[in-house]
Structure 1
């Protein structure tokens, strides 16, 4: 199990270390960015239009409710902790080990790529979103260009988690 926690630990250490390297003095402050013309979305040339801004990503904590996370984990969980395009539900320290993590956007797609690169079994899920996959501990759903991943951490036989993960994948796909 320690091997699975290593990426999460490494990301946490990296997240804490990055702000220290980003400090600037007042002399280093960048100039204000140039204003974007109000007509940026209008036609830029005959037959051409500017690229539209991507749609807002769905709220990670809104995709999996606390009750759904607890049902998936099989134990009570603490309140959701949102960070950027992620949301984590973690078991209390005095309870069994369990965590449900929700990733939205590029991070979810990257997570799927890492699972494949590591040679983990990635099964397709038919009839879910535009594309969906299931691993021993997570599911990945794509609708249009948006990816969502939900990862379950438990100290049990991962085979016990496949059906609940697949069921939740179908629910989450309908929410965004």
Structure 2
């Protein structure tokens, strides 16, 4: 990719001014040439290249139901609060403190990268998506080209939630 430096910009300005002084205009692209007539019918316009189709976004709230989030947290939770590529279920204001967060896409991968940079301890989970990792209070799954992070906030011992996190991660990996 070439950048316009002040020298290139000056040369371009001089060239445009010279063309304008001569009454000339800058060259333009030639119009598309219609395809020749065939026995099947009249000439047609050239087809535009098809736009690449992005994979449809994954709905974070559809990956983990309220019932599944409540089972993970071990308590009742409020309705899902979607937030772009995330979803949150929070505990009632009367307690206990509980929150389940689901992140999908680049944000999920970024959380994993930050936790790695902070030297969090991870356990590699085999047989779960393309790759998966468990840490205290969170699980990360990569399946079908999509990263998902599930984070649980509770004041209890994180070890009590290892199995429920892994079970939910298996369910989510199957939905991607």
Q: TM-score, normalised by structure 2?
A: 0.71
- Superposition pairs for residues 33-112 of structure 1, below 5 Å? 39-41=48-50, 52-112=52-112
Larger Rg: 2
Partner of 1:6: none
Residue 115 of structure 1 contacts residue 122 of structure 1 at CA under 8 Å; is this kept in 2? Answer: no
Partner of 1:161: 161
Tell me the SS of whatever aligns to 2:136: coil
Tell me the SS of whatever aligns to 1:101: strand
State the Cα deviation string for residues 114-140 of structure 1 (Å, max 9, x = none).
110000011111011111111111111
Q: Following TM superposition, by how much is the alpha carbon of 1:40 offset from its aligned partner in structure 2, in angstroms?
A: 3.5
State the Cα deviation string for residues 24-58 of structure 1 (Å, max 9, x = none).
xxxxxxxxxxxxxx7242xxxxxxxx7x3330121
Q: Following TM superposition, by how much is the alpha carbon of 1:95 offset from its aligned partner in structure 2, in angstroms?
A: 1.5
Could you say what the CA RMSD is over the residues aligned between the two structures, in angstroms?
Answer: 1.5
Poorly superposed stretches of 4+, deviation over 4 Å: none
Q: Distance in 2 between matches of 1:158 and 1:136?
A: 5
Count of residues in correspondence between the two structures: 131
Tell me the SS of whatever aligns to 2:139: strand
**Runs of 5+ unmatched residues, structure 1:** 1-37, 42-49
Q: Distance in 1 between matches of 2:100 and 2:158?
A: 14
